[in-house]
Amino acid sequence: MLSGAEKNRYSRQIRLFGEDGQEKLKETSVFIAGAGGLGSAISIYMAAAGFGKIRICDCDTVDLSNLNRQILHTSADVGRAKAMSAHETLTGINPEIEVEALTETITQENIGELLQGCDLIMDGMDNYPVRYILNRAALGRKIPLFHGAISGYQGQATTIIPGRTACLSCLFPRAPPPSVFPALGATCGIIGSIQVTEAVKYVTGTGQLLENRLLLWDGLSGCLEEIACERNPACPECSGKGDRL
Amino acid sequence: MLIAMPDGSRREIAGENIRIEDILKQLGINPEEVIVARNGKIVPEEETAGGSDELKIVRFVHGG
């Protein structure tokens, strides 16, 4: 049940999907991988929207060079664990929700524990090796993975529903070579917002999800386009041939 | 076949049943950095293309 204060707080979005939809958000536990640029946009909008339980995980501390895009953190947080800073910001935005912030490196060994009780996974990572861990865990648990990635003015997003859509490995079978990527905060905001919109739609059962569609944002040209995709029958992760958790 | 390059330029290559991986190599593109859509749908690089196929090569991103 929503309290009177909650009905007031969420009144503008209850107009979109009703009190039933808002209660579904309240009952949803999310795992946000990363409290960086994407993780900032994702977690702030999820907290504000009233997702009932947010578990956010990042192994890093705040650096001055993060602050152009990682809006969870402020100048006063430099040197602090990002998880701690995230916890303060998110509970400040919405004290009605439960926030759990973990300073952990996501590995194949601990992902099961990290995801305990979570209904969906938000990808705020900055590398593909960890994204593949999230992908495998999502497939194994049959929970959705909301993918996003950015570089400079460019970004991409798609929604992965195990058994229904291409998985991350179908789309990106190999990790690109590691490199330091340019990052604009506004691009993180655009892609993170798309990921949260997808999660809201998934939970409330509204709209059409980005299923088997890869959305591409090019901020330089101001163009958004989508490319269709489908499951790769030979995918080692989701075709049933590979090892799963 | 018509090819949309990652920088937005267009190229044309003649041939039939060419492995997409080989097309990328021919164009001097590292297959690890891109995904390829054939006639509007993303396909694995083991697949082939040719004739009147249209390819779009997209440099995917990895940051967060």
Model pLDDT, residue A172: 96
Domain residue limits at B6: 2-59
Q: Which residues of chain B are within 8 Å of residue A148 when distances are taken between CB atoms?
A: 64
Full-model pTM:
0.96
- How far does A6 lie from chain B, in Å, by closest CA? 31
A159 to A118, A138, A197, A200: CA distances (angstroms): 17, 11, 11, 12
Per-residue pLDDT of chain A (245 residues), as tens digits, is: 999 999 999 999 999 999 999 999 999 999 999 999 999 999 999 999 999 999 999 999 999 999 999 999 999 999 999 999 999 999 999 999 999 999 999 999 999 999 999 999 999 999 999 999 999 999 999 999 999 999 999 999 999 999 999 999 999 999 998 888 999 999 999 999 999 999 999 999 999 999 999 999 999 999 999 999 999 999 999 997 444 44
CATH number for position B46:
3.10.20.30
Domain formed by A13-228, architecture: 3-Layer(aba) Sandwich (3.40)
Domain boundaries, chain A: 13-228
- A-chain residue closest to B42, CA distance: A229
Q: Rounded CA gap, B37 and B20, in Å?
A: 10
What pLDDT score does A179 carry? 84
Say if B36 falls within a structural domain. yes
The per-residue pLDDT for A225 is: 96
Q: Look at B64 and A150 and tell me if their CB atoms are within 8 Å.
A: yes
With an 8 Å Cβ cutoff, are B42 and A125 in contact? no
pLDDT of residue A177: 87
Q: How many domains does chain B have?
A: 1
Q: How many helices (H) and strands (E) does chain B have?
A: 1, 7
Distance from CA of A180 to the nearest CA of B (A): 8
Chain B contact for A125, CB < 8 A? yes
pLDDT value of position B1? 95
Q: Which value, in Å, is the radius of gyration of the alpha carbons in chain B? A: 11
Asked if A149's CB is within 8 angstroms of B35's CB, the reply is: no
Residue B64 located in a structural domain: no
Beta bridge partners of B42: B37
- Does pLDDT of B20 surpass 60? yes
Cβ distance of A172 and B61 shorter than 8 Å:
no
Predicted confidence at residue A138, as pLDDT, reads 98
